[in-house]
Structure 1
Amino acid sequence: MNDCHEMVQDSKGRLILLTNETKNNILIYDTAGKLLDFWGHDFPGGHGLTLVNENGTEFLFITDTVKHQVYKTTMDGKILMTINAPLETGVYKKAEEFVPTETIVDTNGDIFIADGYGAQYITHYDKDGKLLNYFGGRGDGDDHFDNAHGIVIDRRQKKPSLLITDRTRNCFKRFSLDGKLQEIIKLPGACVCRPVIKDQHLYAAVLRSIDMSHPASGFTTILDKHNKVVSNIGGTEPVYQAGVLQPMNQAEKIFIHPHDVCVDKDDNLYVTQWASGKVYPYKFTRV
């Protein structure tokens, strides 16, 4: 195992962990931490891991920041589809400019890819990998990004929307599914990774606190359905003054570089860490 990047739980209750170690990119555990299976030798830049259920059959979407590609695989590792750099957009001149960090898949099979380490565009595809739309990109405007690290479809409101990380700017940005900016959720002091939604709460690993120049300073944050921070594991207590969240910071040295949160069926939390001395995920049991 090298860097632990992201983790999901499948319908069997198994925990699927993605690493960037090509001896075994995927490690599969039970909730007690027993290794059940492993596979994968083809993802040197394994970064984003998304679980999709299509009519009762589960698949994985894996982003690779080294190979500049996104893959759809079976649960045992067979590659079914590869999405390459979207050169047809005209905003990418070469494949190396596309460095995808995350995907999310809609109920109709549409795929959204966040290019968090590249040109910062969000690309939208149909279920067969045909490009439908793109938006965002690097820039200073509110509808642009600087480290669009993660993406999720938020169904807690009547109309589904995209929540997208803008990590360097310490916020999540809400967009319509067709790419129109709707809201900015400011999280001062929190360089957040991907948003993870379970029931009415949003969870996120905070890679670093204050800003990206402060290594080994992360924590894990939890927001309610009103976008209010209700808890920071390893971080300072969230404080609001006149309705405005005050800067947050690491308070306890629990994490080094937390990179993702997985919430299991019993609401236990698993936090994966990057560049943290090859530590395995930490489990936090619901009290």
Structure 2
Amino acid sequence: MTVENAPGLVVGTGDFVYDVVRPWGEPPAGWSLGLVSHVAADSRDRVYFYQRKDPPVLVFDRDGHFLTAWGSQRLRDAHGIFVGPDDHVYVCNRDEHEVLKLTPEGKIVLVLGQRGRPALQAPFNHPADVAVSAGGEIYVADGYGNSAVHRFSPEGRHLGSWGAPGAGRGQFTTPHGIWVDAGDRVLVADRENDRVQLFSPEGDFYEEWRDLYHPMDIYVDGAGTVYVTDQVPRLSMYSPDGRLRARGRPVAVGAHGVWGDSRGNLYLAEVGLNQVTKLARRSPFFRAAP
């Protein structure tokens, strides 16, 4: 099932005003989308859908025209996806307990974890999301079987982990989304604890942001604005210091993934509706993070 909006639907106020395009993206004739778990965009504003259906990765141009698809031979259970500064694609192959780095064409260049072998508080047990810092370090929110964040070098060497089950500082109950901002702060959507926690690259606790209900995903743009989706369903925008700047309900169900492009547009993966919603930005915007 998909949900369409009437032409001319506009949401937002102030610096955050968007035209709602729902659904966005045109699959080839005869194709239908499965559960779109996450979405990401690269330096050329090509948009990657990550879905729980073959083929799992679909790529569209900035106008929503289909370009290519890949991943059927390896990717079993789509969850998190991330496009790094060099346009390499990182995906969580959740039920196989692995994270893969691939070229934009889908060629595997790095494998983290042991395929088909879950680990206890070690990489991985049904990993939920992956993020890459500006320096190339890889961070994984290991959110379903574990309550941990794992850090890796760009080459895939395990540098450390932190987290344990619970609701205290540095503990998690389903760490579901992750992002590393320009200051190398690691932001984690601690879903069942209704908060976002912020850490140093080594896992030192900085602070937590609340006033959220089951936060799902995090995206940070080039100006440092933090976008958080939750299960109200809402999209909340925060300043880098955690001040709420805007909040709204532009989606029919909670967006499981969120990403922005170089023009300030946002893409929301509505997993329950098998679609992606685009929020085309009207007001002044800043360059999105690479």
The answer to whether the superposition gives a TM-score over 0.5 is yes
Q: Tell me the alpha carbon deviations over residues 195-249 of structure 1, each in whole angstroms, 9 at most, x when there is no partner.
A: 100123111221x12xxxxxxxx122211223122222217xxxxxxxxxxxxxx
TM-score by length of structure 1 reads 0.80
Q: 1:165 aligns with which of 161, 168, 189?
A: 189
Q: How does 1:243-262 map to 2 (within 5 A)?
A: 254-262=251-259
Q: Tell me the alpha carbon deviations over residues 243-263 of structure 1, each in whole angstroms, 9 at most, x when there is no partner.
A: xxxxxxxxxxx4223111221
- Pair 1:25–1:187, CA change in 2 (3 A): same
**Paired letter, 2:209:** I
CA distance in structure 1 between the partners assigned to 2:118 and 2:253 by the alignment = 39
Q: Tell me the alpha carbon deviations over residues 89-126 of structure 1, each in whole angstroms, 9 at most, x when there is no partner.
A: 8745xx8x711111122333321111011211111122
Over the aligned positions, Cα root-mean-square deviation in angstroms equals 2.2
Tell me which residue corresponds to 1:196: 219
- Please state if 1:28 is matched with 2:28: no
Instruction: State the number of aligned residues.
Output: 247
* Residues 112 and 123, structure 1, Cα contact 8 Å, conserved in 2: yes
Displacement of 1:6 in angstroms is: 1.5
- Pair 1:219–1:140, CA change in 2 (3 A): closer
CA distance in structure 1 between the partners assigned to 2:252 and 2:268 by the alignment = 9
CA distance in structure 1 between the partners assigned to 2:268 and 2:38 by the alignment = 8
* Residues 219 and 255, structure 1, Cα contact 8 Å, conserved in 2: no
Q: How does 1:134-153 map to 2 (within 5 A)?
A: 134-153=161-180
Q: How does 1:1-287 map to 2 (within 5 A)?
A: 1-21=33-53, 23-41=54-72, 42-54=74-86, 58-84=87-113, 91-92=121-122, 98-155=125-182, 159-188=183-212, 190-198=213-221, 199-206=223-230, 208-209=231-232, 218-234=233-249, 254-276=251-273, 278=274, 280-287=275-282
**Secondary structure of 2:214's aligned partner:** strand
TM-score by length of structure 2 reads 0.79
Q: Tell me the alpha carbon deviations over residues 176-211 of structure 1, each in whole angstroms, 9 at most, x when there is no partner.
A: 1111111011124x22122100123111221x12xx
**Secondary structure of 1:204's aligned partner:** strand
Q: Which has the higher contact order (CA 8 A, sep 6+)?
A: 2
226-235 vs 170-179, which moves further: 226-235
Q: Tell me the alpha carbon deviations over residues 111-148 of structure 1, each in whole angstroms, 9 at most, x when there is no partner.
A: 11110112111111222222111101212322100111
**Paired letter, 1:257:** G
* Residues 42 and 261, structure 2, Cα contact 8 Å, conserved in 1: no
**Paired letter, 1:273:** E
CA distance in structure 2 between the partners assigned to 1:175 and 1:33 by the alignment = 36
CA distance in structure 2 between the partners assigned to 1:4 and 1:117 by the alignment = 18
* Residues 85 and 98, structure 1, Cα contact 8 Å, conserved in 2: no
- Pair 1:267–1:91, CA change in 2 (3 A): closer
* Residues 164 and 174, structure 1, Cα contact 8 Å, conserved in 2: yes
Identity between Structure 1 and Structure 2 (%)? 21
Q: Which runs of 5+ in 1 are unaligned?
A: 210-217, 236-253
